[in-house]
Structure 1
Amino acid sequence: MTKSIFITGTDTEVGKTVISCGLIKALQLQMAGRRVNGYKPIAAGAEQSGDHLVNEDGIAIHAVSSGKLGYSEINPVVLEQAIAPHIAARLEKTPVDISLMTKGLQQLKAKSDFVVVEGAGGWHVPLGEHHITMSQWVVEQQLPVLLVVGVKLGCLNHALLTAEAIKASGARLIGWVANVLNNDRQISDLNIQYLRDTFEAPCIAKIPYQAQLNPQSIANHFSLNELVCKM
């Protein structure tokens, strides 16, 4: 049975893609010989490549995935403008096809032993009209959640609110990652310790400030045993 996990963040620009790629690499190392692929169901902010749009995050996830997959298998819904997906869809007159996101995930699961699904923006990012959100889609797909906390000023409030929202949505938070974005080590360590003491879910990685942001180096910071046990 294919396992999967959804990566969300306390905000945009907190390192979801870097963490997603690092987690894919870490799982590939731990699950030698198994197919670990990434999935970016929807991305906003793209450039033309040949006859189709490609997104920077989707390209990164595609590059580290195990299978020989086409770009659209990794990122089926792509919007050109780098703004909230529902706004980009409205301006581009291209409604978000949520059924395509779902179909893509099911097809990728059939080719994978483990799928790392990266969200767009934060937990409740809107996807289209009628107040449809990414969080609703995650709950419908029954994906367990990994939260990326951008450790900086204000992170405690953002992290606690996001964890509360995940639980209220009916999803299951099974782990979190501390991605340190502040060069004040003492304050960062105190923030991380507070969240360790507060969250029931384990911290499975701490990414140091200005760490080498490539998938292989990020993979070395993960401790996966507790996470995999919760899947």
Structure 2
Amino acid sequence: MAAYFVTGTDTDAGKTLITAGLLALARRRGLTTLGLKPVASGSEPVTLEDGTSALRNADALALQAQSHPPEPYVVVNPHAFAPAIAPHLAARRAGTTVSLDTLVPQVRQGLSHHRDLTLVEGAGGWRVPLNDREDLAELAVHLALPVILVVGLRLGCISHARLTAEAIAASGLRLSGWAGSLVDPAFAADSALHDDNLAILARALDAPCLGILPRLPDGDPRAMAAAAAAYLELPDVD
């Protein structure tokens, strides 16, 4: 069984697409999988089969779709909030607080399912607040999870990636791999400059590159995960 915490250099860096792509790749190779999104903001109300209403997050649904054997939504995403803002602010607007006291046992329960590959996706960047005292980085620390860093390939990403890698190391965790996601097409407009930037990232980040995703067209999350898988390599699952 292997488990990793997936973080990004910023919000909208491509974490979910790469997380879902890695899970899709693992499934293609016959492995059992589980994707967890412990806290998600930017969720929409849906009507469940029993007629009740609940919030569902598109990113969490994408990870649930790549989890095999299947798991109930609440296992994948125990905390969903409507506003597409920082989790601690979204929770505050909902009149609640998310803390490590509740979050750590919930994620441990998911990890106890002992899948071949479990990926725990954070929210935003490494130090996004969870509440007024704690942040999501501390979740990875409490669970002692090695980290996969998703670098949103845009202007400024080299500094963002290096600073995030330094913060991960300062937290006492191992950076086990990184992957790039082209979030700004202008970043690749000059192919020579694009290649130079990737070479710098490869030298600066002391971990293997798991792949570089081009800009993929929006579509069905399952199809996008399958497309992303073609550009990725699995981390160590032994």
TM-score for both structures, normalised by structure 2: 0.88
Report the count of equivalent residues: 224
Query: 1:203 aligned to 2:205?
Result: no
Aligned position for 1:88 = 90
Map Cα deviations across residues 65-90 of structure 1 (whole Å, 9 max, x no partner). Answer: 11221111110011111111111112
Tell me the distance in 2 between the aligned counterparts of 1:100 and 1:40.
14
CA offset digits 1:4-57 (Å, max 9, x no partner): 011100000111000000010112223x1x321100010011111222111111
CA distance in 2, matches of 1:101, 1:6: 14
2:188 pairs with one of 183, 191, 197: 183
Gaps of 5+ in 1: none
Aligned match for 2:46, one of 44, 49, 63: 49
Q: 1:103 to 1:11 in 2, by over 3 A?
A: same
Q: Secondary structure at the match of 1:209?
A: coil
Q: How does 1:1-231 map to 2 (within 5 A)?
A: 2-30=1-29, 32=30, 34-50=31-47, 51-111=53-113, 112-130=115-133, 132-181=134-183, 182-184=187-189, 185-210=191-216, 214-224=224-234, 227-228=235-236
Identity %: 38
Structure 2 residue runs of 5 or longer lacking an equivalent are 48-52
> TM-score of the superposition, structure 1-length normalised?
0.91
CA–CA distance in structure 1, aligned partners of residues 45 and 182 of structure 2: 33
1:211, distance to aligned residue in structure 2 (A): 6.4
- SS, match of residue 21 in structure 1: helix
Hey, what's the Cα distance between the residues in 2 that align with 1:174 and 1:128? 27
CA distance in 2, matches of 1:220, 1:212: 16
Letter in 1 for 2:230: N
Q: Which amino acid aligns with 2:229?
A: A
Deviation at residue 60 of structure 1 after TM alignment: 0.9
